[in-house]
Structure 1
């Protein structure tokens, strides 16, 4: 059972990718948006850590779990909310025809992958899935789908691109030496993301300790914003045969063997505040990856 919260940054946000920045013609750095679930989890752990530090106690030590990889709670998301509608990651096993325009009500005709048995196709997988349309198909994985259309398994669904939720703002700076003088030939640019008017992040957490709201600082640049409890009915049903990840899914032998449909693997690291050193790079399946087994942060799809 999750408690649902919205989060609205006070300014732009930036979540840098894992690619190194080197001198050359390209002075831009890639970014991840929305923030990975472990970034949200880190912000929440920091929130409770700061409360304990301020009060000189360890009331939330079982939630923070200093030095451990995960905190003492489960987190799902983040999703998007706009105009009172919730948008979840779209499944990679659902498709639309490339030539197909949206219908009058703004929804796409969805073509779903289905299980088949064929002697004509040789594969090492025990499960074979197929999708067929009148013309060339493209997966809607990597996009965002209306929550109601997803859970109802609708043949028509409202699908949005991630760029429908934010505008990009280019920020340029220059690196500094230890004495705070400008470092020669070290100009860089970051694409920051600003949520569009009426858009907020939505995340679910399985503890009550966040209360009704407060302030979270998010990401390496410690951008802050307000979070508040929301009265939302989001049913993460897990009674089915296929399951879709709602957040980044860490790769493992069991997870790898269960993949039905996915997108490009994301490699992320980060900074370990406890060890004061870089975290090892880890591969993640993107949100929307479809499995034939149920894992944490998954929802069943028809």
Structure 2
């Protein structure tokens, strides 16, 4: 298993489930971060293209190494089924001036946000009646290692520094005009704008997959609208994650990627020995898109957004891994439902 950095060569745009018709929809605003199945599909396609041997000479999937070799087919799957390849983690990567790389995840619900005089965002366990105008937990990212220590009670001051998404992104509007499909000429008055995004220096995406290269290898990945080019490079995080199992009775499950509600989440949590007691979440999100195989829209499904907090009880006090995936096998392979499990201190929660 290995970590890989995804760095865009140009600006980028990730489309949601909404239908966009240039000219009819005047302004298009994309998603950030993208859906994990979008990233999974791009990585899977990159490995398949690598095994096929590149764009030339043309080889069909059936005649390729992936289509004929049982080992590769079981790992990368077929057109109908997924293989063993899985996207275990996905988030933003911060690289400091010394080259050290820090894993960032969405800030969970329930943490108080404060702004210092230096315009820095602070996330705290302390209760606060102050609300930052125009800033919510959805806009803030935090260090995964620091968050794990904060929620486990290892940070005495009970607060950590967050990063607002405006610090890592800038918007570059792209203006165009819709074209007639037959004449290929521009349509009058059908002007539209796409808000393209670009990472500021020191920021990129990271993934963790069940694959490690024998030798460091940089790949090219097409990801997002207009098949923008990204580089995929292996790396090692600056700080390791806590991986000790826990047997606490009261725990909180914090989602770092959306969780599909294709079934009752109670059933998925029971697979980990957990009983759901309450959920703290923002409004539900929708997963949709366009199915290239059938040339039609995919069925829309509801999701709990990243940052949602599920309070659970480990009644049998079984050993639980601190990082789990909640959902069906295929959706978990595509990165959905990645979560952190931390002990829930009832006494501390009463004081908040």
Write the distance in 1 (CA, Å) between the matches of 2:241 and 2:293.
Answer: 36
SS of corresponding position for 1:264: coil
Out of 215, 218, 224, the residue aligned to residue 219 of structure 1 is 224
Deviation at 1:5, TM superposition (A): 0.8
The verdict on how the C-alpha distance between 1:231 and 1:22 changes in structure 2, with shifts beyond 3 A counting, is closer
The verdict on how the C-alpha distance between 1:77 and 1:109 changes in structure 2, with shifts beyond 3 A counting, is closer
In structure 1, the residue matched to 2:203 is 199
Deviation at 1:24, TM superposition (A): 7.8
Cα offsets for 1:227-278 (capped at 9, x unmatched): 1111124426464611111212212343278462112322131222333332
Write the distance in 2 (CA, Å) between the matches of 1:234 and 1:24.
Answer: 48
Structure 1 unaligned blocks of 5 or more = 113-131
Deviation at 1:205, TM superposition (A): 0.8
Out of 233, 247, 252, the residue aligned to residue 228 of structure 1 is 233
Write the distance in 1 (CA, Å) between the matches of 2:301 and 2:82.
Answer: 14
Contact 2:172–2:195 (CA<8 Å) still a contact in 1?
Answer: yes
Q: State yes or no: 1:188 paired with 2:192.
A: yes
Out of 92, 100, 103, the residue aligned to residue 109 of structure 2 is 92
SS of corresponding position for 1:292: strand
Deviation at 1:7, TM superposition (A): 0.9
Deviation at 1:196, TM superposition (A): 0.4
Contact 1:14–1:219 (CA<8 Å) still a contact in 2?
Answer: yes
Equivalent positions of 1:77-116 (< 5 A) are 77-83=90-96, 84=100, 85-96=102-113, 100-102=114-116, 106=120, 108=122, 110-111=124-125
SS of corresponding position for 1:4: strand
SS of corresponding position for 1:208: coil
Contact 2:279–2:311 (CA<8 Å) still a contact in 1?
Answer: yes
SS of corresponding position for 1:19: coil
In structure 1, the residue matched to 2:166 is 163
Write the distance in 2 (CA, Å) between the matches of 1:17 and 1:108.
Answer: 30
Write the distance in 2 (CA, Å) between the matches of 1:22 and 1:80.
Answer: 33
In structure 2, the residue matched to 1:260 is 279
**Higher fraction of helix:** 2
In structure 2, the residue matched to 1:275 is 294
In structure 2, the residue matched to 1:62 is 74
Contact 1:81–1:202 (CA<8 Å) still a contact in 2?
Answer: no
Structure-2-length-normalised TM-score? 0.69
Contact 1:37–1:78 (CA<8 Å) still a contact in 2?
Answer: no
SS of corresponding position for 1:44: helix
Contact 2:172–2:197 (CA<8 Å) still a contact in 1?
Answer: yes
Deviation at 1:74, TM superposition (A): 2.2
Supply the RMSD in Å over aligned alpha carbons.
2.9
In structure 2, the residue matched to 1:123 is none
Greater mean deviation of Cα atoms: 283-292 or 135-144: 135-144
Write the distance in 2 (CA, Å) between the matches of 1:185 and 1:65.
Answer: 46
Contact 1:102–1:108 (CA<8 Å) still a contact in 2?
Answer: yes
Write the distance in 2 (CA, Å) between the matches of 1:24 and 1:223.
Answer: 22
Cα offsets for 1:29-78 (capped at 9, x unmatched): 12101222111101011112222433732153333323447553221213
